[in-house]
């Protein structure tokens, strides 16, 4: 077992994994990483299973001191990482030694970054997940973001992982303009024909200042209801597009409420959810309609690519 000291917690650094599923009926949010793609790349680089817990950071990362040698990886947004004051590589496995310090600067592109450690972050598994949900103080490190003087352990594997580097063709590209593919429903029948048309054929939408791990409020062409925006509360999903009475859409994210009483005109497909993690104020997006069949095929291809990445990342 290896310990890590937190010198500075960064803006908001939490322990996250694939999410806490199976408890929404009890009012427990799924949480989990915002960017599934970079999360899985990080775990590939350190030889972990794809669903092992990592650190998720936003805007400005933490400062960590390693008390034993280990293998780590940095993916996602470029926050100018440095080890002992020297530039640290991203998207490849890194060997750190006892006494080494990892620190970050201001984010250059993207919004959220990930730190993976070879082995397992030693925190309790709560309802099948190590993910942090701050509002309920559930999971992760005491149910909160990391702060100075914290210390956590890594249960290291028996064997040192092989050196890896993500090939250039698989590296993520961050943009201030995104296309999000959407499957209509479950309440698209609550909207006028014009409302549905405007979702996909208007000039697109702009991200407002109201964005966090719960959701992203957008501003653009008003989406027209037939009568009301209210429904009997039903379940929500990561990527659900709620449309309240003002006609301005809200995309629900990882820490969303478990149920909602606003109509949901569509859902962003799973393969595009990672784009939401890097959308910031004033970024723009358009929605593109796909069928359920198309979305399923895209999802299969998306998940299958991680086996290829794992094979091709060995150096």
Write down all domains in the chain, each with its CATH number in brackets.
2-168 (no CATH), 177-303 (2.40.100.10)
CA distance 243 to 108: 32
CA distance 199 to 205: 9
- 234's tokens: 């039903």
Cα 142 → chain centroid: 20
pLDDT band at 106 (very low <50, low <70, confident <90, very high): confident
Do β-strands 94-96 and 120-121 pair in parallel, antiparallel, or remain unpaired?
unpaired
- 69's tokens: 């040698």
CA distance 245 to 119: 47
Per the rule left: phi > 0, alpha: psi between -120 and 50, beta: everything else, 197 is alpha
Q: Are 257 and 191 in contact (CB under 8 A)?
A: no
Return the percentage of the chain with pLDDT > 70, whole number.
100
Mean pLDDT to the nearest integer, 8-17: 97
- 5's tokens: 């000291």
Q: Is 253 helix (H, G, I), strand (E, B) or coil?
A: coil
Q: Are 81 and 104 in contact (CB under 8 A)?
A: yes
**pTM of the predicted protein model:** 0.96
**190-241, pLDDT tens digit by residue?**
999 999 999 998 889 999 999 999 999 999 999 999 999 999 999 999 999 9
- Does residue 2 surpass a pLDDT of 90? no
pLDDT band at 176 (very low <50, low <70, confident <90, very high): very high
**19-33, pLDDT tens digit by residue?**
999 999 999 999 999
Say if residue 76 is exposed, middle or buried (CB neighbours under 10 Å; 0-12, 13-18, 19+).
buried
Mean pLDDT to the nearest integer, 251-265: 96
Cα 281 → chain centroid: 17
Give the pLDDT of residue 289: 98
pLDDT band at 38 (very low <50, low <70, confident <90, very high): very high
Give the pLDDT of residue 207: 98
CA distance 179 to 296: 18
CA distance 68 to 185: 51
For the chain, the average pLDDT equals 97
- 254's tokens: 């990882």
Those residues whose C-beta lies under 8 Å from the C-beta of residue 154, and which sit 6 or more positions away, are 1, 2, 3, 4, 70, 117, 118, 119, 120, 121, 122
Mean pLDDT to the nearest integer, 254-277: 97
Give the pLDDT of residue 202: 84
CA distance 196 to 225: 9
Give the pLDDT of residue 250: 98
Mean pLDDT to the nearest integer, 113-142: 98
Those residues whose C-beta lies under 8 Å from the C-beta of residue 217, and which sit 6 or more positions away, are 207, 208, 210, 211, 248, 249, 250
- Does residue 113 surpass a pLDDT of 80? yes
Mean pLDDT to the nearest integer, 263-284: 97
């Amino acid at each position: 077992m290896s310990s890590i000291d937190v010198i500075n917690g960064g803006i908001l650094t939490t322990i996250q994994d694939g999410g806490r599923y199976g408890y929404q009926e009890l009012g427990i949010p799924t949480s989990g990483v915002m960017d599934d793609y970079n999360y899985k790349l990080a775990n590939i680089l350190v030889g972990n299973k794809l669903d092992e817990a990592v650190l998720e950071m936003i805007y400005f990362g933490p400062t960590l001191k390693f008390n034993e040698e280990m293998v780590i990886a940095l993916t996602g947004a470029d926050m100018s990482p440095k080890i002992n004051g020297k530039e640290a590589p991203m998207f490849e496995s890194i060997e750190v030694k006892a006494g080494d310090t990892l620190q970050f600067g201001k984010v250059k592109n993207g919004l959220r970054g990930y730190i993976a450690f070879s082995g397992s972050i030693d925190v309790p598994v709560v309802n099948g997940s190590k993910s942090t949900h701050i509002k309920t103080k559930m999971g992760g490190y005491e149910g909160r973001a990391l702060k100075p003087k914290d210390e956590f352990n890594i249960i290291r594997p028996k064997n040192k992982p092989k050196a890896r580097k993500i090939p250039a063709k698989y590296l993520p590209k961050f943009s201030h303009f995104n296309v999000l593919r959407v499957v209509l429903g479950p309440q698209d029948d609550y909207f006028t024909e014009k409302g549905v048309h405007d979702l996909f054929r208007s000039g697109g939408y702009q991200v407002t200042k109201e964005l966090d791990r719960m959701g992203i409020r957008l501003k653009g062409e008003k989406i027209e209801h037939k009568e009301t925006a209210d429904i009997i509360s039903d379940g929500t999903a990561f990527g659900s597009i709620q449309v309240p009475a003002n006609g301005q859409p809200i995309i629900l994210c990882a820490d969303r409420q478990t149920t909602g009483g606003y109509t949901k005109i569509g859902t962003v497909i799973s393969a595009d959810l990672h784009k939401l993690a890097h959308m910031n104020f004033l970024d723009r997006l358009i929605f593109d309609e796909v069928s359920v069949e198309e979305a399923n095929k895209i999802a299969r291809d998306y998940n299958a690519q991680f086996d290829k990445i794992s094979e091709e990342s060995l150096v």
